[in-house]
Structure 1
């Protein structure tokens, strides 16, 4: 099974993907994590880092090649949960594995702002936390690897504004496309991670 999680900035895509992965035994592919793992020695590093820090979209042809390469690994032979792709209609040209289900996490812009300002990731592996909805067990340390928490470079108000504008002008067209295909499930993502997970499992019949 191939599942896409889509939605506005800070809607909880990373958190849901992690919870859903444990529940239905599918591994997660996250373009953002793949892009942030590119070494500084790469010729693409500074260009990509600049685009992401400004809240823009990295060249979909480049990201599509990364996703195609990643998705062919043995870890994903039974399918995967893809989180953070199809932010614009043209993405389809570069990587479209044929999704069985698309989950749209819907939140207000006000909630997106609050969550973004409270979001942190672990320095080692990019695990995502939020002081409002999904805090760590030990203050300032990742529950999985113990590394310290840092703020993402793109988690700034001006960057969020740019990303939200992209969502409204481009991603909503993608959402409408999947809705018309009959494979989209819209979820009210206002609430705790566990509440959102239960809504997804019930409404998307997973």
Structure 2
């Protein structure tokens, strides 16, 4: 089973991705992880990406695509994989299709978790982090003592990415760049959408039905 995971920030992709990996034994391929690995190991692709990052520039598509193509050549993906964070644009999706076509392969499914933007904003802006790695939410998962981590007693903070003005920009960017992917995969008849506004268990129940049919 080879799938792409889509959805706006705050839709719960990370939570559902973990459950999909556990239940269906697919390899979770996150572009963030690929970048970190190439940078930490100082690979040729990592060096190329670092040149752009050091200048404060976005890493161009061709470098990202090369990293993904390299990752898809690893032997651990023979039982299936789930791409998360790639593709983000139509151009990247077309590049992915070419990579798979060259290998005589294709995607089975594009799974999109959708949710109302007002709920997504509420979810993201309410998140609070601790330096120890624990995550909280002021409404849905508050700490026992406001502003203090239950686990280590550290002071909780809000990431800059989770502040309202940044969240609005992130959602707008998703709408402009990534939302067209939904139409792209719908035309290929491999798109399935799930309502991410409900509880984690309810969302995963729907995802499981889709993946069971796909298998």
Q: TM-score, normalised by structure 1?
A: 0.75
Cα drift, residue 70 of structure 1: 1.5
Stretches of structure 1 that go unaligned for 5 or more consecutive residues are 52-56, 142-148
Counterpart of 1:179?
186
3-state SS in 1 of match to 2:207: helix
Root-mean-square deviation (CA), in Å?
3.4
**Aligned length, in residue pairs:** 192
The whole-number CA distance in structure 1 between the counterparts of 2:142 and 2:22 is: 18
Q: TM-score, normalised by structure 2?
A: 0.72
Structure with bigger helix share is 2
Cα drift, residue 122 of structure 1: 8.4
Cα drift, residue 25 of structure 1: 0.8
Stretches of structure 2 that go unaligned for 5 or more consecutive residues are 101-105, 144-148
Cα drift, residue 157 of structure 1: 2.8
The whole-number CA distance in structure 2 between the counterparts of 1:75 and 1:122 is: 33
Counterpart of 1:107?
115
Counterpart of 1:54?
none
Cα drift, residue 135 of structure 1: 8.3
Rg larger in structure: 2
3-state SS in 2 of match to 1:103: strand
The answer on whether the counterparts of 1:133 and 1:193 sit within 8 Å (CA) in structure 2 is: no
3-state SS in 2 of match to 1:63: helix
Cα drift, residue 26 of structure 1: 0.6
The whole-number CA distance in structure 1 between the counterparts of 2:134 and 2:11 is: 12
The whole-number CA distance in structure 1 between the counterparts of 2:131 and 2:72 is: 24
The whole-number CA distance in structure 2 between the counterparts of 1:133 and 1:10 is: 13
